[in-house]
Amino acid sequence: MLVRQIPTGGDRNFAYLVADGSTRRAVVIDPSYTPGRVVQAAREEGLTIARALCTHDHHDHTNGNAEFERLTGVRPLLFGDTDPETGRRVEDGASFPLGELAIRILHTPGHTSDSICLHVGDAVFTGDTLFVGKVGGTDLGDGARAEYTSLHRKLLTLPEETRVFPGHDVGVAPESTIRRERETNPFLLRPDYESFVELKRNWAAYKKEHGIA
Ligand SMILES: [Fe+2]
């Protein structure tokens, strides 16, 4: 499996090009600010872009979608959309073929109600649900509660060695693993929802105290 992490500008957004090494079929995730660069990267690698998905409907992740479709003929799909090729809906547990691999959709509401993570091979693309050492922004009520559940039920249940590729380069490293996040991410170390949301409430002070940018 091939993974290219492509910085696209914006708020240090990442686009991803993920391909099955044998069939050279690729999925693009969050083309965002530089769809042309993503298409160029696919060309350099000799890949065919078979499909595209966005992790959620926020402008910084979707603003390149029209241009991406113009360049490739592939419309990026969001949660709830129906894939024209397979007739399958983008919903929790749905699976889309990618050559000899599959893209499995994990619905992870919290940051937004339409947030999804994409599990492909030994990697998970977490959008704005999980960052390296941080988690996605939410309100301190229903959003935080939904995110807590999504993180624990959908992401921390993945194999420990799963590589984590976030939607923004806002952490201590551009990528991580489920094990490393479980062991070091202060939000995931919180033992229950109450202390999780308390860390959200006090995040500015916590960052200052621990020298986190
Ligand atoms: Fe977002």
Q: How far is the CA of 60 from the centre of ligand 1 (A)?
A: 7
In the chain, the amino acid numbered 200 is K
pLDDT score, position 212: 87
Token pair of 198, please? 């308390």
Q: How far is the CA of 22 from the centre of ligand 1 (A)?
A: 33
Q: How far is the CA of 113 from the centre of ligand 1 (A)?
A: 11
Q: How far is the CA of 23 from the centre of ligand 1 (A)?
A: 32
Q: How far is the CA of 212 from the centre of ligand 1 (A)?
A: 20
pTM value?
0.97
pLDDT band with cut points at 50, 70 and 90 for residue 19: very high
Q: Measuring CA to CA, how many Å separate 109 from each of 41, 45, 192?
A: 31, 33, 18
Per-residue pLDDT at 172 exceeds 90 = no
Q: How far is the CA of 45 from the centre of ligand 1 (A)?
A: 29
pLDDT band with cut points at 50, 70 and 90 for residue 9: very high
For the chain, give the mean pLDDT: 97
pLDDT score, position 130: 98
Average pLDDT over residues 10-34: 97
Average pLDDT over residues 52-72: 98
Considering only CA atoms, which of 168, 197, 173 is closest in space to residue 184?
A: 173
Q: How far is the CA of 111 from the centre of ligand 1 (A)?
A: 7
Per-residue pLDDT at 125 exceeds 90 = yes
